[in-house]
Amino acid sequence: MAKAAVHFDAETIALMKVALDEAWNRLPPKLQATMLKTTLAERILKSAIEGERNRERLRDAALRDLAA
């Protein structure tokens, strides 16, 4: 079964971008060197698809379960 397409408005896209940048900037350099930013983006997208629109919670979802 094909997944339904998900569309985000411009405000939500901007919110996700800020959350991604914040999450990336919170990573220590060692993790930034070994992790792809797309991994964080995928986590933010997953939360947004589930309905999350709070920037802090989107950011925290991206960082969840990462070794600091």
Q: What is the pLDDT of residues 15-66, one digit of tens each?
A: 999 999 999 999 999 999 998 999 999 999 999 999 999 999 999 999 998 7
Q: Between 10-26 and 55-63, two packed helices, what is the crossing angle to 10 degrees?
A: 50
DSSP string, 6-21: ----HHHHHHHHHHHH
Which structural domain, as residue segments, surrounds residue 28? 10-63
- b/e map 24-59, b = 16+ CB within 10 Å: bebbeeeeeeeeeeeebbebbbebbeeebeebeebb
Confidence of residue 2 (pLDDT cuts 50, 70, 90): low
Rounded CA-CA distance 35/27 in Å is 10
Assigned domain for 2 exists: no
How many domains does the chain fold into? 1
Establish if 4 belongs to a structural domain: no
Whole-model pTM: value is 0.86
